[in-house]
Structure 1
Amino acid sequence: MGIGGCIILFAVGAILTFGVDWHLSGVNLDVIGVVLMAAGLLGVVVYAGVLRRRRLVVGRPIDETLIEERRTRGL
């Protein structure tokens, strides 16, 4: 799941917790909303950690020197 899915999950959880006034027998929408918000927040944190690790691995080391090669055509 990407960052967009995590944010949508968090938003749906917030709507269920704070914006809905429904009462269903046997279902507590406030608890479901809090669980969805926690799952969305956890997803964002995990995604950010993976993205940070990916950026660290892909980056070029600072002390690496660039070598330029020039090829000439033989006559």
Structure 2
Amino acid sequence: MRLGTGIVLLALGAVLTFALRVDVSGIDLRVVGWILMAAGALGIVLEVAVWGPKRRRVTRTDAYVDPAAGAPVRRSTTEETR
């Protein structure tokens, strides 16, 4: 489940729970709305907490002496991993 799907489930569940006033025989739309909101909230939390931090930025700094200049030189390298 992606982030957009979680948001859609959350919004659809809120509409069913709070905005719709329809009686359907055999099914309680408020309970269905609460279930959809719970599934959407769980999907959002999982997307952000578990699958969200896939990118990592690693910065490495190397220091060495340039033989031509005779002075210390620093080089920073930034890598972004998934």
Q: Same fold (TM over 0.5)?
A: yes
Aligned-pair identity (%) = 40
Match for residue 65 of structure 1? 61
Choose between structure 1 and 2: higher helix proportion.
1
SS across alignment from 1:17: helix
Q: Which residue of 1 aligns with 2:2?
A: 2
Relative contact order higher in (CA < 8 Å, ≥ 6 apart) = 1
Structure having the larger proportion of residues in strand: 2
**Where does the alignment leave 5 or more consecutive residues of structure 2 unmatched?**
63-74, 77-82
The number of aligned residues is 63
Highest CA radius of gyration, 1 or 2?
Answer: 2
Large movers: runs of 4+ above 6 Å: none
Please report the RMSD computed on the Cα atoms of aligned residues, expressed in angstroms: 1.7
